[in-house]
Structure 1
Amino acid sequence: MKRFAVLALMFAVPVGTALAQDSDPASETVHVVKPGETLGGVAQRAVVPRVLIIEANGLKAPYALKAGQKLVIPRRRSHTVKAGETGFAIALQYGVPWDAIATANSIDPKKRVKVNTKLAIPTIANVPSPPPGPAAKPGGVPAAPSLATAPNGLKFSWPAPGAVIRGFTPTGSRNSHTGIDLAGDMGSAVRAVAAGRVVYAGYEPKKFGNLVVIDHGKGWHSAYAKLQKVTVTKGDRAKAGERVGLLGDTGETKRTELHFEVRRYNLPVDPELLLPERD
């Protein structure tokens, strides 16, 4: 049975954040406002500038808080650009749109990022909501997703026939994993889960190895990583089921596998929520 609780991760709270029962702004990434709290007080105890909390949450003047309101506490993250890295790959790694990273660092998002540049990675709070989920079964358990519930009218299929050997764990959780890993034979075909335009086809040196990313429209992307070989070119129009690469063991891996991700506005979504049930 798939877990549909992760759908909540695509709402205004960033992927992977958790709420502690006894919240402490000094360490938490999401703070639940208590009666009488002010923005200035939360910022002081969080040791985070007030303006960053305002920007991360899209707050409007006079910045009055309400009890029970959830505030993103934007902890600072940084990334030093390594040789061969692209803005797209960095954005994919952190689950933050490249335009947002570029804006936060006052650089041109259209230019190639320079090696050894230290980038501040912003926290993204306002993320478009997902399409309505399937109805719940008796007892409150959500029904399994099907092709009919796929976003944007897309009909997703599995990228490879192998078993899931590692599932999705939200970013920010312990041992987070922003996609699923599928077992398979070296050199077997990896196929596009839906039609779209290839926006990345090449080698990403830090983590993903040989990587293909397909844009399906309206913010939805699928990514196929750790490939032995890429068989499409950036700019190609891929058909649903078309081969995009060969299953391999490149990148950060110790075994032959396909690392597969689905993202909306570059934020990771559990692929198994969108793929059809297997027999």
Structure 2
Amino acid sequence: MKRFPLICLLFALFGCESIFFEEYKIINPKIYKKDLQYYKVIKGDNLYSISKKFNIPIQKIIKSNKITSPFKIFPNQKIFLPRNKVYTVKKGDTLYSISRKFKTDLFSLSVLNKLNNVNQIKVNQKILIPEYILKPKKIKQKEKPLQKTENKKIIKKRPLTNKVDSDFIWPVKGKILNRFGSETPGFFNDGINISSNLGTSVKASLDGEIVYSGNEIPGYGNLILIKHSKNWITAYAHLEKILKKKGNYVKKGETIGLVGKTGNVSEVQLHFEIRKGKEAVNPLKYLS
């Protein structure tokens, strides 16, 4: 079974929106009045519940309504809801080809359009297109002039080494069912799928913090996402059982779950991804 992008994990990830705000900036297209609709707030509403109700990123609602901290809203208040762009499926389209056309990814499209099977779209079907997500530009800081030192012994600090590029270990050993990349026209695997026995221990590929642990993402079954240093992320899908919770810090080689076949797969396996930010890389080039 071919697997598809997780987007790293970005604001679209259900309860994980806030995790990646520091690494990613949401860029809003120019909003025109004809693209707006409004919602009247009722008792019990908050920005989060409205964003979920209308499937619109909470940051988009905040920005379009110029809502400031502490981000309170009140009954009968009118909230403008910018609509997402709509694309009509044409003959020959696949969800993957549409994602490439609009510079987004399959995961974002599947979540936004509530698609349980990304392989099944029909001609003339309306597909909502999510906003672009880009890395923020780094702000260059002015260098401070060096101060003269007199009779002081200068101790050079040992630089922090970052061997993350070659230190990933295999989360589980087994035959590779599907490799990274496009093996079939119109499909793209953002990781590798490894065959294993049901219940085999799945190891953390590198030290890091678990930023997602659950099964709310269509197709992936029980899923764990681990954030590592230098903005590296690993994903472990189709787990039979999850043994760690969001917020747990795990060491490389520590068991985080058990191999299974949950989600949209027909045989026991682990889907494994390595990402640098939101960009998927070929795990086989990094695993040792």
**Which amino acid counterpart does residue 270 of structure 1 have in structure 2?**
N
Flag the 1:186–1:266 CA change in 2: closer, same or farther, 3 A.
same
Matches within 5 A, 1:131-142: none
Taking structure 1 as the reference length, the TM-score comes to 0.50
Aligned residues: 167
Q: Choose which of 209, 230, 233 in structure 2 pairs with 1:218.
A: 230
Flag the 1:218–1:209 CA change in 2: closer, same or farther, 3 A.
same
Q: Percent identity?
A: 30
CA displacement, residues 159-212 of structure 1 (integer Å, 9 cap, x when unaligned):
001111100116996311111000001111110011111111111341211111
Name the Cα RMSD after superposition: 3.9
Does structure 2 conserve the Cα–Cα contact (< 8 Å) formed by 1:219 and 1:266? no
CA distance in 2, matches of 1:247, 1:167: 18
Does structure 2 conserve the Cα–Cα contact (< 8 Å) formed by 1:157 and 1:193? yes
- Note if 1:117 corresponds to 2:55: yes
CA distance in 1, matches of 2:171, 2:195: 11
What 5-or-longer segments of structure 2 have no aligned partner? 6-11, 32-46, 57-83, 85-128, 138-161
Taking structure 2 as the reference length, the TM-score comes to 0.49
Flag the 1:235–1:163 CA change in 2: closer, same or farther, 3 A.
same
Flag the 1:88–1:187 CA change in 2: closer, same or farther, 3 A.
same
Report what 2:282 is aligned to: 270
CA distance in 2, matches of 1:87, 1:98: 17
CA distance in 2, matches of 1:164, 1:220: 22
SS at match of 1:218: helix
Cα deviation, residue 88, structure 1: 3.9
Which of structure 1's runs of 4+ aligned residues deviate more than 3 A? Answer: 96-106, 110-113, 122-128, 150-154, 170-173
Report what 1:257 is aligned to: 269
Cα deviation, residue 111, structure 1: 4.5
Report what 1:169 is aligned to: 181
Matches within 5 A, 1:39-54: none
Flag the 1:251–1:100 CA change in 2: closer, same or farther, 3 A.
farther
What 5-or-longer segments of structure 1 have no aligned partner? 1-14, 16-80, 129-149
Does structure 1 conserve the Cα–Cα contact (< 8 Å) formed by 2:25 and 2:134? no
